[in-house]
Amino acid sequence: MLKVGLIGFGFMGRMHFDNYERLMSEGKQVKLVAVCDLAIETLKNAKANGNMATGKEIYDLSSYNLYEQVEDMLANEELDLIDITLPTPLHADLTCDLLGRGYHVICEKPAARTSAEVQRMVDAAQASGKKLLIGQCLRFWPAYEYVKETIESNKFGKALGGYFFRGSEAPKGWFLNSELSGGNLLDMHIHDTDMVQWLFGAPKKVSTLGRNVVSQGGGFDIVSTNYFYEDGKVINAQSDWTLEGDHGFDMTFRVNFEKGNIVLKNGELKVNPNDGAGFVPELPGDDGYYRELVYMLEKIEKNETIETSAPESALITLQIIEAEEKSAKNQGEWVVLG
Protein backbone atom coordinates (compact mmCIF):
# COMPACT_ATOMS: atom_id res chain seq x y z
CA MET A 1 0.00 0.00 0.00
CA LEU A 2 1.54 3.30 -1.12
CA LYS A 3 1.02 6.11 1.37
CA VAL A 4 0.73 9.58 -0.12
CA GLY A 5 1.19 13.08 1.23
CA LEU A 6 -0.33 15.94 -0.77
CA ILE A 7 1.40 19.33 -0.53
CA GLY A 8 -0.78 22.22 -1.70
CA PHE A 9 -4.57 22.42 -1.48
CA GLY A 10 -5.49 25.04 -4.06
CA PHE A 11 -7.21 24.26 -7.35
CA MET A 12 -4.73 21.64 -8.58
CA GLY A 13 -4.33 20.16 -5.12
CA ARG A 14 -8.07 19.53 -5.02
CA MET A 15 -7.99 18.03 -8.51
CA HIS A 16 -5.41 15.52 -7.29
CA PHE A 17 -7.27 15.02 -4.00
CA ASP A 18 -10.48 14.11 -5.89
CA ASN A 19 -8.64 11.48 -7.88
CA TYR A 20 -6.88 9.97 -4.86
CA GLU A 21 -10.28 9.55 -3.24
CA ARG A 22 -11.53 7.86 -6.39
CA LEU A 23 -8.50 5.56 -6.54
CA MET A 24 -9.03 4.56 -2.91
CA SER A 25 -12.74 3.89 -3.52
CA GLU A 26 -11.75 1.65 -6.43
CA GLY A 27 -9.53 -0.43 -4.20
CA LYS A 28 -6.22 0.66 -5.67
CA GLN A 29 -3.18 0.07 -3.47
CA VAL A 30 -2.82 3.70 -2.48
CA LYS A 31 -3.81 5.71 0.58
CA LEU A 32 -3.81 9.48 0.88
CA VAL A 33 -3.00 10.06 4.52
CA ALA A 34 -1.96 13.71 4.84
CA VAL A 35 -2.60 17.10 3.29
CA CYS A 36 -0.22 20.01 3.84
CA ASP A 37 -0.70 23.70 3.09
CA LEU A 38 0.31 26.87 4.92
CA ALA A 39 -3.33 28.00 4.78
CA ILE A 40 -4.97 24.59 5.25
CA GLU A 41 -7.39 25.80 7.95
CA THR A 42 -8.73 28.46 5.58
CA LEU A 43 -8.59 26.45 2.35
CA LYS A 44 -10.47 23.46 3.70
CA ASN A 45 -13.53 25.68 4.04
CA ALA A 46 -13.08 27.75 0.87
CA LYS A 47 -13.86 27.25 -2.80
CA ALA A 48 -10.90 26.76 -5.15
CA ASN A 49 -10.49 28.91 -8.27
CA GLY A 50 -9.49 27.34 -11.58
CA ASN A 51 -10.47 26.91 -15.21
CA MET A 52 -12.15 23.55 -14.63
CA ALA A 53 -14.54 22.40 -11.92
CA THR A 54 -13.26 20.39 -8.97
CA GLY A 55 -15.31 17.55 -7.53
CA LYS A 56 -16.94 19.66 -4.84
CA GLU A 57 -16.91 23.18 -3.49
CA ILE A 58 -16.23 22.48 0.19
CA TYR A 59 -14.10 19.51 1.25
CA ASP A 60 -14.44 17.31 4.32
CA LEU A 61 -10.86 16.66 5.44
CA SER A 62 -11.75 15.20 8.82
CA SER A 63 -10.36 11.76 7.91
CA TYR A 64 -6.95 13.14 6.88
CA ASN A 65 -4.00 14.38 8.90
CA LEU A 66 -3.58 18.09 8.18
CA TYR A 67 -0.35 20.08 8.37
CA GLU A 68 0.75 23.63 7.75
CA GLN A 69 4.47 22.78 7.52
CA VAL A 70 6.09 20.18 5.29
CA GLU A 71 8.66 19.25 7.95
CA ASP A 72 5.91 18.47 10.44
CA MET A 73 4.20 16.20 7.93
CA LEU A 74 7.41 14.35 7.12
CA ALA A 75 8.30 13.94 10.81
CA ASN A 76 4.92 12.48 11.74
CA GLU A 77 3.95 10.39 8.72
CA GLU A 78 5.40 7.32 7.02
CA LEU A 79 5.00 8.22 3.36
CA ASP A 80 6.11 6.69 0.08
CA LEU A 81 4.97 9.29 -2.43
CA ILE A 82 4.74 13.08 -2.17
CA ASP A 83 2.47 15.00 -4.56
CA ILE A 84 3.45 18.67 -5.01
CA THR A 85 0.84 21.16 -6.23
CA LEU A 86 2.46 24.36 -4.95
CA PRO A 87 3.23 27.60 -6.84
CA THR A 88 5.90 27.14 -9.52
CA PRO A 89 8.85 28.84 -7.74
CA LEU A 90 8.61 26.29 -4.91
CA HIS A 91 8.85 23.18 -7.09
CA ALA A 92 12.56 22.69 -7.67
CA ASP A 93 14.03 22.96 -4.17
CA LEU A 94 11.28 20.91 -2.55
CA THR A 95 11.37 18.21 -5.23
CA CYS A 96 15.13 17.82 -4.99
CA ASP A 97 14.98 17.69 -1.20
CA LEU A 98 12.23 15.07 -1.13
CA LEU A 99 13.93 12.87 -3.71
CA GLY A 100 17.13 13.06 -1.66
CA ARG A 101 15.20 11.88 1.40
CA GLY A 102 13.97 8.81 -0.45
CA TYR A 103 10.45 9.76 -1.52
CA HIS A 104 8.89 9.27 -4.93
CA VAL A 105 7.55 12.61 -6.22
CA ILE A 106 4.79 13.88 -8.49
CA CYS A 107 5.35 17.55 -9.30
CA GLU A 108 2.69 19.60 -11.04
CA LYS A 109 3.47 21.46 -14.24
CA PRO A 110 5.38 23.51 -15.03
CA ALA A 111 8.24 21.48 -13.62
CA ALA A 112 9.96 24.63 -12.35
CA ARG A 113 10.46 28.31 -13.08
CA THR A 114 13.60 27.84 -15.20
CA SER A 115 15.24 25.08 -17.22
CA ALA A 116 18.28 25.29 -14.91
CA GLU A 117 16.03 24.35 -12.00
CA VAL A 118 14.53 21.47 -13.97
CA GLN A 119 18.03 20.21 -14.69
CA ARG A 120 18.62 20.05 -10.93
CA MET A 121 15.42 18.03 -10.58
CA VAL A 122 16.53 15.63 -13.32
CA ASP A 123 19.90 15.17 -11.61
CA ALA A 124 18.26 14.63 -8.20
CA ALA A 125 15.91 11.97 -9.57
CA GLN A 126 18.75 10.13 -11.25
CA ALA A 127 20.93 10.28 -8.13
CA SER A 128 18.15 9.13 -5.79
CA GLY A 129 16.84 6.22 -7.84
CA LYS A 130 13.30 7.36 -7.00
CA LYS A 131 10.50 8.09 -9.46
CA LEU A 132 9.76 11.67 -10.52
CA LEU A 133 6.77 12.42 -12.72
CA ILE A 134 5.98 15.92 -13.99
CA GLY A 135 2.23 16.54 -14.20
CA GLN A 136 1.97 17.46 -17.87
CA CYS A 137 -1.52 15.99 -17.85
CA LEU A 138 -2.19 16.28 -21.61
CA ARG A 139 0.26 13.44 -22.19
CA PHE A 140 -2.33 11.26 -20.48
CA TRP A 141 -5.41 12.89 -22.04
CA PRO A 142 -7.14 10.41 -24.38
CA ALA A 143 -7.65 12.84 -27.29
CA TYR A 144 -3.97 13.79 -27.40
CA GLU A 145 -2.92 10.17 -26.91
CA TYR A 146 -4.99 9.30 -29.98
CA VAL A 147 -3.03 11.81 -32.08
CA LYS A 148 0.24 10.46 -30.71
CA GLU A 149 -0.74 6.90 -31.66
CA THR A 150 -1.83 8.05 -35.13
CA ILE A 151 1.50 9.74 -35.75
CA GLU A 152 3.53 6.77 -34.53
CA SER A 153 1.47 4.21 -36.50
CA ASN A 154 1.68 6.29 -39.71
CA LYS A 155 -2.04 5.50 -40.16
CA PHE A 156 -2.69 8.66 -42.19
CA GLY A 157 0.85 9.13 -43.43
CA LYS A 158 3.13 11.95 -42.38
CA ALA A 159 1.91 14.89 -40.35
CA LEU A 160 1.85 18.03 -42.49
CA GLY A 161 0.76 20.66 -40.00
CA GLY A 162 -1.00 21.41 -36.78
CA TYR A 163 -2.66 24.17 -34.77
CA PHE A 164 -3.19 24.21 -31.00
CA PHE A 165 -5.10 26.71 -28.89
CA ARG A 166 -6.15 27.22 -25.30
CA GLY A 167 -7.69 30.24 -23.65
CA SER A 168 -9.64 31.48 -20.65
CA GLU A 169 -10.19 34.48 -18.47
CA ALA A 170 -7.24 35.90 -16.57
CA PRO A 171 -6.06 33.89 -13.55
CA LYS A 172 -5.99 35.33 -10.06
CA GLY A 173 -3.37 36.07 -7.43
CA TRP A 174 0.27 35.16 -7.87
CA PHE A 175 -0.24 33.94 -11.44
CA LEU A 176 -0.38 37.56 -12.61
CA ASN A 177 3.10 38.17 -11.22
CA SER A 178 5.12 37.04 -14.21
CA GLU A 179 8.35 36.88 -12.22
CA LEU A 180 6.76 34.09 -10.18
CA SER A 181 4.52 32.33 -12.70
CA GLY A 182 6.31 32.98 -15.98
CA GLY A 183 3.08 34.44 -17.33
CA ASN A 184 0.90 32.71 -19.89
CA LEU A 185 3.91 31.19 -21.63
CA LEU A 186 4.95 29.10 -18.65
CA ASP A 187 1.59 28.48 -17.01
CA MET A 188 -0.97 27.93 -19.79
CA HIS A 189 0.79 27.91 -23.16
CA ILE A 190 3.28 25.33 -21.87
CA HIS A 191 0.60 22.66 -22.26
CA ASP A 192 0.61 23.07 -26.03
CA THR A 193 4.35 23.63 -26.29
CA ASP A 194 4.72 20.34 -24.46
CA MET A 195 2.28 18.69 -26.86
CA VAL A 196 4.18 19.98 -29.87
CA GLN A 197 7.40 18.57 -28.40
CA TRP A 198 5.77 15.25 -27.40
CA LEU A 199 4.01 14.72 -30.71
CA PHE A 200 6.60 15.99 -33.21
CA GLY A 201 9.88 16.21 -31.33
CA ALA A 202 11.74 19.39 -30.45
CA PRO A 203 11.65 22.05 -33.20
CA LYS A 204 14.85 23.45 -34.65
CA LYS A 205 13.81 27.05 -33.92
CA VAL A 206 10.81 29.08 -32.76
CA SER A 207 9.25 32.46 -33.49
CA THR A 208 6.82 33.92 -30.92
CA LEU A 209 4.68 37.02 -30.80
CA GLY A 210 3.42 38.09 -27.39
CA ARG A 211 1.38 40.84 -25.81
CA ASN A 212 1.06 41.98 -22.22
CA VAL A 213 -2.42 43.02 -21.07
CA VAL A 214 -2.98 42.18 -17.40
CA SER A 215 0.21 40.64 -15.96
CA GLN A 216 2.85 42.47 -13.96
CA GLY A 217 6.56 41.88 -14.36
CA GLY A 218 6.85 41.95 -18.15
CA GLY A 219 5.21 38.60 -18.92
CA PHE A 220 2.93 37.84 -21.83
CA ASP A 221 -0.82 37.22 -21.65
CA ILE A 222 -1.46 36.50 -25.35
CA VAL A 223 1.07 34.42 -27.29
CA SER A 224 1.40 32.80 -30.70
CA THR A 225 4.35 30.57 -31.63
CA ASN A 226 5.49 29.11 -34.93
CA TYR A 227 7.68 26.01 -34.61
CA PHE A 228 10.16 25.30 -37.40
CA TYR A 229 10.83 21.72 -38.51
CA GLU A 230 13.26 20.82 -41.25
CA ASP A 231 10.74 18.50 -42.92
CA GLY A 232 8.44 21.46 -43.55
CA LYS A 233 5.65 20.77 -41.03
CA VAL A 234 3.65 23.94 -40.33
CA ILE A 235 2.97 24.02 -36.58
CA ASN A 236 1.48 26.87 -34.56
CA ALA A 237 0.25 27.15 -30.97
CA GLN A 238 -1.65 30.07 -29.47
CA SER A 239 -2.77 30.89 -25.95
CA ASP A 240 -4.80 33.75 -24.49
CA TRP A 241 -5.79 34.28 -20.88
CA THR A 242 -7.59 37.60 -21.46
CA LEU A 243 -10.88 36.05 -22.67
CA GLU A 244 -13.38 37.47 -20.19
CA GLY A 245 -17.18 37.51 -20.14
CA ASP A 246 -18.96 34.27 -21.00
CA HIS A 247 -16.09 32.77 -23.00
CA GLY A 248 -15.04 30.20 -20.38
CA PHE A 249 -12.17 27.75 -20.88
CA ASP A 250 -11.36 26.37 -24.32
CA MET A 251 -8.77 23.94 -25.66
CA THR A 252 -8.73 22.89 -29.31
CA PHE A 253 -6.37 21.46 -31.88
CA ARG A 254 -6.15 20.38 -35.50
CA VAL A 255 -3.48 18.04 -36.89
CA ASN A 256 -3.52 17.36 -40.62
CA PHE A 257 -1.83 14.42 -42.31
CA GLU A 258 -1.19 13.26 -45.86
CA LYS A 259 -4.35 11.12 -45.70
CA GLY A 260 -6.62 12.83 -43.20
CA ASN A 261 -6.95 15.17 -40.26
CA ILE A 262 -7.89 15.03 -36.57
CA VAL A 263 -9.72 17.87 -34.85
CA LEU A 264 -10.59 18.53 -31.20
CA LYS A 265 -13.42 21.06 -30.99
CA ASN A 266 -16.03 21.76 -28.33
CA GLY A 267 -14.73 18.82 -26.33
CA GLU A 268 -15.21 16.28 -29.15
CA LEU A 269 -12.47 14.52 -31.10
CA LYS A 270 -13.32 14.04 -34.79
CA VAL A 271 -11.27 12.00 -37.28
CA ASN A 272 -11.63 12.93 -40.95
CA PRO A 273 -9.98 10.50 -43.40
CA ASN A 274 -9.42 11.91 -46.89
CA ASP A 275 -11.00 8.87 -48.53
CA GLY A 276 -13.93 8.13 -46.21
CA ALA A 277 -16.53 9.43 -43.80
CA GLY A 278 -15.45 11.20 -40.65
CA PHE A 279 -16.01 9.52 -37.31
CA VAL A 280 -15.75 10.05 -33.56
CA PRO A 281 -13.38 7.42 -32.11
CA GLU A 282 -14.05 5.61 -28.86
CA LEU A 283 -11.70 6.92 -26.20
CA PRO A 284 -11.13 6.12 -22.53
CA GLY A 285 -13.57 8.06 -20.38
CA ASP A 286 -11.06 9.12 -17.73
CA ASP A 287 -9.23 12.44 -17.93
CA GLY A 288 -5.52 13.04 -17.75
CA TYR A 289 -5.47 13.99 -14.07
CA TYR A 290 -6.73 10.55 -13.09
CA ARG A 291 -4.70 8.63 -15.64
CA GLU A 292 -1.37 10.27 -14.72
CA LEU A 293 -1.82 9.15 -11.10
CA VAL A 294 -2.68 5.61 -12.21
CA TYR A 295 0.44 5.62 -14.39
CA MET A 296 2.68 6.79 -11.54
CA LEU A 297 1.32 4.20 -9.11
CA GLU A 298 1.89 1.41 -11.64
CA LYS A 299 5.46 2.53 -12.32
CA ILE A 300 6.26 2.56 -8.61
CA GLU A 301 4.61 -0.82 -8.04
CA LYS A 302 6.47 -2.43 -10.95
CA ASN A 303 9.66 -0.43 -10.40
CA GLU A 304 9.64 0.67 -14.03
CA THR A 305 11.17 3.79 -15.58
CA ILE A 306 9.00 6.88 -15.98
CA GLU A 307 8.74 7.39 -19.74
CA THR A 308 5.57 9.41 -20.25
CA SER A 309 6.17 12.89 -18.79
CA ALA A 310 9.65 12.12 -17.54
CA PRO A 311 11.62 15.05 -16.06
CA GLU A 312 14.16 14.81 -18.90
CA SER A 313 11.39 15.56 -21.39
CA ALA A 314 9.98 18.35 -19.20
CA LEU A 315 13.44 19.91 -19.36
CA ILE A 316 13.25 20.09 -23.16
CA THR A 317 9.82 21.72 -22.95
CA LEU A 318 11.17 24.39 -20.55
CA GLN A 319 14.06 25.06 -22.91
CA ILE A 320 11.59 25.60 -25.76
CA ILE A 321 9.48 27.94 -23.59
CA GLU A 322 12.57 29.99 -22.76
CA ALA A 323 13.38 30.25 -26.47
CA GLU A 324 9.79 31.41 -27.10
CA GLU A 325 10.11 34.06 -24.40
CA LYS A 326 13.37 35.31 -25.90
CA SER A 327 11.71 35.49 -29.33
CA ALA A 328 8.65 37.34 -28.00
CA LYS A 329 10.86 39.92 -26.31
CA ASN A 330 12.49 40.53 -29.71
CA GLN A 331 9.29 40.92 -31.74
CA GLY A 332 9.18 37.39 -33.05
CA GLU A 333 12.74 36.88 -34.21
CA TRP A 334 13.64 33.23 -34.83
CA VAL A 335 15.48 31.66 -31.89
CA VAL A 336 17.43 28.45 -32.50
CA LEU A 337 17.25 25.76 -29.82
CA GLY A 338 20.29 24.08 -28.36
Whole-number pLDDT of residue 19: 97
Q: Find out whether 21 and 56 touch, Cβ atoms under 8 Å.
A: no
Distances (CA, A) of 71 to 5, 58, 76, 97, 178: 12, 26, 9, 11, 29
Cβ within 8 Å of residue 214, ≥6 positions away: 170, 176, 221, 241, 242
Whole-number pLDDT of residue 57: 72
CA atoms of 55 and 36, how far apart (whole Å):
19
CA atoms of 271 and 266, how far apart (whole Å):
14
CA atoms of 51 and 160, how far apart (whole Å):
31
Q: Where in the chain is the domain with CATH 3.30.360.10?
A: 139-283+317-336
| Domain 2-137+290-309, second-level architecture | 3-Layer(aba) Sandwich (3.40)
Q: Closest Cα to residue 204, out of 338, 314, 307?
A: 338
Structure-derived torsion over alpha carbons of residues 45, 46, 52, 56, reported in degrees to the nearest 10:
30
Whole-number pLDDT of residue 86: 97
Whole-number pLDDT of residue 180: 95
What is the model's pTM?
0.95
Cβ within 8 Å of residue 279, ≥6 positions away: 270, 271
| Average confidence (pLDDT) per 10 residues, the chain, 338 residues | 96 95 97 96 67 66 95 98 98 98 98 98 98 98 98 98 97 94 97 98 98 94 98 98 96 98 97 97 96 98 96 98 98 96
Whole-number pLDDT of residue 66: 97
Q: Where in the chain is the domain with CATH 3.40.50.720?
A: 2-137+290-309
CA atoms of 36 and 231, how far apart (whole Å):
48
Residue type, 114: T
Q: Which class in CATH covers the domain with range 139-283+317-336?
A: alpha beta
Whole-number pLDDT of residue 49: 57
